[in-house]
Structures are given as C-alpha cells and as structure tokens.
C-alpha cells in the first residue's frame, strides 16, 4: 500500500466505513534524518482515527527512537511492518526479512513497546518461503514481547501476492495467541470478508488492494456483515463524485502538481470495468490539472452514454 494509502485515500475509506486505517510504510532510518517526505507519511488527521503509523527497520534501538519521534504526530497505534516483500525493504533486513530472524523481531517489538505509550502491533506473513513457514511461532514471539494485536497475511514472502492466500495459517495463528488477530489476503468483496471471518475466527479483516478505486467495499462489507445485504456497486455519478473528491484531497494535501500526478493511478482504478476503460487509462496517464480531470469526466460520461444507447 506504499504510495497509495496516503491521507487522502485513508479519509475516503473512513468515510465509507473502514473501522481502522494504517499509514504508509515509513523507514525508521529515514526518520533519523528528519526527512520531509518521511514526515508527510506520518501525518494523522482526526478524521482518520483510529489510525496507526507503520514503521519498518531491522535495528531495535533505531526502531524505538523512530517510534518515539512518530508520537509527535499523535497516532493511536504504532504498527511494525514485518511482512513487506519489496526488495528495497526486505533486501535491507526489514519487512518480511525479519521472518527469517524471529529473535530479532521479538527484540524490535520489545524495544518499541518500551519506547511508546500507545499499543504496538505487528504485521507479518506466513513465512519467508514454503520451507520456512513459521507464522505461528513468530506470532507467539511478538505477543510475548508486548504486541497488542497481530496482522497475518496468508502468503510467504516468496509468493509475494500470488497464488491464493492460505487462510488456514490465519486460523492457526488466531488459535495460538490471546491478542486480537487481523486476517489479510484475498478479501476482495463482502462475501470473501465474511468467509474469512468464518474460516479463521479472526477479529478483523484487512482490505488492501481491493480498495483501490473502490472505497465502497467497506460500505458493502458492513452491510453484509450486519444485515446480510449485498449492496450493489456505485452508479456512475457517485463513482465520479468520489473520484473527484479523492483527487481534490490529493491536491489539497500535496499541491496540484504532485497530487495530479499521483492521481493518475487512482483514476485508472476508478474507471476499471467501465466502457472504454483502456482508452480512459491512457487519458488518465496524461492528466496534469483539475481542469484535465473535468475533461476526462466528460469523456467517461460520453462513453457510458454511448454504451447504453447501443
């Protein structure tokens, strides 16, 4: 979710019913240099709460100092990422690489827990690869060292994001610890959210990539879990209204130049499934201003109207 789950995205998801949001992956070492980009990743708005800032790193002392610095932004939770598979993270000993060193992971959790007054949580994977599936042991070590909750993604680092997530490992982690467990992996709609709850017994389900251009998923999950109702997807005008609001927030928080360039990927996700989506993605790759967005919206309406008339 790095580069996606920024403040604008989180606020939109909260508006549609997300119970809890987690910030973008932030380097503990980067925080030691007071990097302006790093500071932007740690911003917490009251409209987002409860919200966690997410840190990664491989040195207990540095992680503890970073967590202390993060408290200046008043997060509700400090989340330690021990599951990111990206080479630039895992290749430097952070993220999923910690799955290969549970002892060090435990030391990091303990150091961070001692450093901050808020709950500390951990996100990790099934294991490093299929020959070293150690999520249950890893979860217990995190709990023993003070973690208040755990998020488990049902794939190994080597699997990245395919094939299907192993929900059974989430169930086994849930049965092995006493702290809340959040399940992650292949929750793509309301029905799969309920299926994960039933199969794993987890306390919450985490939605990641399925929310790209689709914040309505949280509203749909809530309705299905509480009322058994499968809500339909948004009508075109609602889709466009939310897309514009999302992009307007991006521009407000980052300036129009940066906001519109980051908006390009979001537009591509918002138009998924629409008539002419391929050509719309090409247009999305060229937008540079809110005026360009208005022209794109006109083209979206035209294409959908033509589709209805044919």
Active site residues: 84
Distance, CA of 77 to CA of 100 (rounded, Å):
25
Q: Read off the tokens for 160.
A: 């990245």
Is there a contact between 161 and 132 (Cβ–Cβ < 8 Å)? no
Pairing between strand 181-184 and 204-206?
A: parallel
Peptide bond into 42 cis (omega under 30): no
- In the three-class reduction of DSSP (H, G, I as helix; E, B as strand; rest coil), residue 53 is classed as strand
- DSSP per residue over 26-82, as a string? EEHHHHHTT-HHHHHHT---GGG-SEEEEEE-S-HHHHHHHHHHHGGG--SEEEEEE
Question: How far is residue 144's CA from residue 139's CA, in Å, rounded to a whole number?
Answer: 9
Residue 26 and residue 56 in contact, taking contact as beta carbons nearer than 8 Å: yes
DSSP 215: T
Token pair recorded at residue 122: 């951990």
Angle of CA points 74, 77, 80, to nearest 5°? 120
DSSP tally for the chain: helices H, then strands E: 14, 7
CA distance 229 to 216: 14
Q: Using CA atoms in the order 248, 252, 258, 260, what is the torsion angle rounded to 10 degrees?
A: 10
Q: Are strands 77-82 and 204-206 parallel, antiparallel or unpaired?
A: unpaired
Give the C-alpha separation, 183 to 170, whole Å.
6
- Cβ-contact 42, 23 below 8 angstroms: yes
């Amino acid at each position: 979710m790095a580069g996606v789950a920024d403040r604008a995205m989180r606020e939109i998801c909260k508006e549609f019913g997300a119970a809890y949001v987690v910030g973008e992956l932030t380097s503990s070492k980067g925080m030691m240099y007071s990097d302006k980009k790093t500071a932007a990743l740690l911003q917490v708005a009251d409209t987002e709460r409860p919200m966690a800032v997410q840190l990664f790193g491989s040195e207990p002392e540095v992680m503890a100092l970073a967590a202390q610095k993060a408290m200046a932004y008043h997060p509700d939770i400090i989340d330690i990422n021990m599951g990111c598979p990206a080479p630039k993270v895992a290749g430097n000993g952070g993220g999923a690489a910690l799955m290969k060193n549970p002892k060090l992971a435990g030391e990091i959790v303990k150091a961070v827990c001692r450093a901050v007054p808020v709950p500390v949580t951990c996100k990790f994977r099934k294991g490093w690869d299929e020959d070293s599936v150690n999520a249950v042991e890893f979860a217990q070590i995190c709990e023993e060292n003070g973690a208040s909750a755990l998020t488990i993604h049902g794939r190994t680092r080597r699997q990245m994001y395919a094939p299907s997530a192993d929900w059974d490992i989430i169930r086994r982690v849930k049965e092995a610890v006493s702290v809340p467990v959040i399940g992650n992996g292949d929750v793509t709609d309301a029905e799969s959210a309920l299926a994960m709850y039933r199969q794993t017994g987890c306390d919450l389900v985490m939605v990641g990539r399925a929310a790209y251009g689709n914040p309505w998923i949280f509203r749909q999950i809530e309705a299905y879990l509480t009322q058994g109702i499968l809500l339909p997807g948004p009508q075109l005008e609602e889709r466009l209204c939310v897309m514009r609001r999302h992009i307007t927030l991006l521009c407000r928080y980052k300036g129009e130049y940066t906001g519109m360039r980051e908006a390009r990927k979001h537009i591509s996700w918002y138009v998924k499934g629409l008539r002419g989506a391929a050509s719309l993605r090409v247009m999305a790759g060229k937008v540079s201003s809110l005026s360009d967005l208005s022209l794109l919206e006109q083209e979206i309406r035209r294409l959908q109207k033509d589709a209805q008339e044919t």
